[in-house]
Structure formats: structure tokens, C-alpha cells
């Protein structure tokens, strides 16, 4: 399977935020890739680069063989509203859910489909599918985000991201703010959803157990650079540096204490 997204020599430096340096990364179609690393290592920055919230200083980001970074020639090639058209092919879920408080769960999920003028019947069908897929009770669809629990909000956020059947799903610590029981339930559901949809997903977490459970491929990032890429077994058995061993040992499960 060929790469859906490719980052070639991507660098981005900020005043104080997490920078990335000369990143090369390929995201395989149909697989779940997990970016992991300590906070501030630049893993969220990579997601924000891919969805075009920020632009790389150097390097190229290629989505489905189109260059989408914002240097002018590339933008022009994409055409008017080009980056928005790419964004609609990508779903994006963040830690706090990013739900708009003035819209109901339904309003949030259908926002983009309505903007694109999709047929009402088509949207209704898709919404039922998504509720079933994410185990979200349909009778809660008319609630506002503030009337939902944290876990329910993340399910709504996931439905919003999946509404237009995106080729790529980006998840930035989607479960980071949830308590352990809810988190475990959602991890299980996410894994099922990814499998059922054969969804290409790129997930950011700092929890190694979560990365190992959900990820087909784990990418360990530190100080803006990719340190090692592979399965958990690769990382554990063939650590590329002392940092890799340290990172893995620091996250030993309770059972080992």
C-alpha cells in the first residue's frame, strides 16, 4: 500500500512552541500510526502542519500526491479554496473535542455537510450510521456540548470528524482529558471503529499503552525529531538510542512495580 501522506524534510520553528526539525514521515493507507513522545516534543505540531493550521518553514507535505504546504506555487496549484478542499478529506479530533458550544451535537456533526449543501436524507442516514458506530445514543443528539459528559463529547467530536468519510483521521490526544474507565472504553471503541472503517489514522498520545493498543506503527518523537519508528516490540528490543529505552522503561505498567 502506498503512502497517503508524506512529509519530506519538514521543519518548523516558533518563538517558544514545540518546533520540528527535518521530519521525514510516511503515513500508510489503512493503518493506524501513533506519534508518541514527551510533552513539547513537537508531535501535535506535526498534526497541525498536515491539516494546514500552520505552514512549514522548509520541506514539503504531500497529501494523496498533491503538495499542500502553503508556499505560493503549491497553493496556486491547489486552486481557489484548495486547502479547504483537502481539509474536508481529513478529519481532526482534539483533546477538548473542539465542539462549538452554540450548536447541538447534531449541529456540530452536520455543520460541514450542511455547508456543502448535502441532501437531508443522506445526512440523516450517515448520522444514524455514525451513532451506531461510535455507540452514541441518538436521543442525545439535540443536546448542547455543555449538556454532555466528556466521553460523550469526544464521541460527538469523532462523529463530526468522520461525517464526510475522510481518507485521513487526525487525533490529537483525543482521550487525554478523560478519566481511566471512560478512556479504556473509548480506546476499545476506537480500535473497533478503525478496523471496521479500515481508517487511515494518525494519533498523538503520550501514553505508551494506548499507543501499543491502537497503533500498527509507533513513531517516537523527541525534541522535534523522529527517534525511532516501528512496532512496540521493535522499540523495546532494538532501541535506537538510550532515550528510547528510558522512555519505554519510564512507562512500565503498574503490574511491574
Partner 1 sequence: MRGIWNPGVQKWFSRVLIFSWFSGLLAFSAFAAEPVQIGSKKFTESYVLGEIAKRSLSDAGISVEHRQGLGGTIILWEALRSGQIDIYPEYTGTITQEILKRSDPLTFEQIANELGKAGIGMTEPLGFNNTYALVMLRSHAEKLGLHTISDLKNHPELKFGLTHEFLDRQDGWRPLTEDYQFNPQNVIGIDHALGYGALVKGSIDVKDAYSTDAKISENDLIVLEDDHQFFPQYKAVFLFRFALAEPAIAALRKLEGTIDEAKMVRLNAKAERTKNYARAANLYFEPDATSTRLRQGSGEASISFGETFPHKLTRWTARHLELAGFSLLLSVLVGIPLGIFASRGGAIGHVILGFAGIVQTIPSLALLALLVPLPFFGISVRTAITALFLYGLLPIVRNTATGLQDIPRALRESAIALGLSPAARLWQIHLPMASRSILAGIKTSAVINVGTATLAALIGAGGLGEPILSGLNLNDHATILQGAVPAAILALLVQSLFDLLDRVLIPKGLRL
Residues in touch with partner 1 (CB under 8 A): 48, 51-53, 81, 84-88, 90, 92, 94, 96, 98-104, 107, 111-112, 114-115, 117, 120, 144-147, 160
CB of 249 to partner 1, least distance (A): 33
CB of 20 to partner 1, least distance (A): 18
Which bin fits 22, alpha (ψ -120 to 50), beta or left (φ > 0)?
left
Cell of 109: 456533526
Nearer to partner 1, 34 or 51 (CB): 51
Nearer to partner 1, 51 or 190 (CB): 51
Burial 83-110 (b: 16+ CB within 10 A, else e): beebbbebbbbbbebebeeeebbbbbbb
CB of 231 to partner 1, least distance (A): 29
Nearer to partner 1, 84 or 192 (CB): 84
Nearer to partner 1, 12 or 160 (CB): 160
CB of 211 to partner 1, least distance (A): 23
CB of 81 to partner 1, least distance (A): 7
Nearer to partner 1, 7 or 168 (CB): 168
Secondary structure E strands in 64-215: 66-67, 90-94, 168-172, 200-205
Give the closest residue to 163 by CA, choosing from 203, 215, 201, 124: 124
Amino acid at each position: 500500500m502506498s503512502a497517503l501522506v508524506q512529509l519530506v524534510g519538514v521543519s518548523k520553528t516558533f518563538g517558544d512552541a514545540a518546533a520540528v526539525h527535518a521530519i521525514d514521515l510516511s503515513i500508510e493507507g489503512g493503518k493506524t500510526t501513533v506519534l508518541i513522545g514527551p510533552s513539547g516534543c513537537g508531535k501535535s505540531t506535526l498534526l497541525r502542519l498536515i491539516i494546514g493550521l500552520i505552514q512549514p518553514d522548509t520541506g514539503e507535505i504531500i497529501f494523496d500526491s498533491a503538495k499542500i504546504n502553503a508556499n505560493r506555487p503549491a497553493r496556486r496549484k491547489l486552486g481557489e479554496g484548495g486547502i479547504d478542499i483537502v481539509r474536508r478529506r481529513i478529519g481532526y479530533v482534539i483533546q477538548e473535542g473542539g465542539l462549538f458550544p452554540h450548536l447541538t451535537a447534531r449541529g456540530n456533526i452536520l455543520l460541514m455537510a450542511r455547508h456543502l449543501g448535502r441532501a437531508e436524507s443522506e445526512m440523516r442516514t450517515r448520522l444514524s450510521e455514525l451513532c451506531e458506530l461510535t455507540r452514541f445514543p441518538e436521543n442525545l443528539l439535540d443536546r448542547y456540548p455543555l449538556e454532555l459528559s466528556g466521553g460523550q463529547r469526544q464521541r460527538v467530536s469523532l462523529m463530526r470528524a468522520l461525517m464526510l468519510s475522510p481518507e485521513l483521521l487526525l487525533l490529537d490526544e483525543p482521550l487525554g482529558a478523560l478519566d481511566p474507565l471512560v478512556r479504556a472504553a473509548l480506546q476499545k471503541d476506537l480500535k473497533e471503529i478503525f478496523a471496521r472503517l479500515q481508517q487511515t489514522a494518525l494519533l498523538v498520545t503520550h501514553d505508551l499503552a494506548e499507543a501499543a493498543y491502537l497503533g500498527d506503527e509507533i513513531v517516537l518523537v523527541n525534541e522535534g525529531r523522529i527517534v525511532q519508528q516501528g512496532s512496540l516490540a521493535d522499540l523495546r528490543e532494538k532501541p535506537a538510542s538510550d532515550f528510547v529505552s528510558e522512555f519505554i522503561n519510564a512507562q512500565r505498567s503498574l503490574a511491574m512495580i
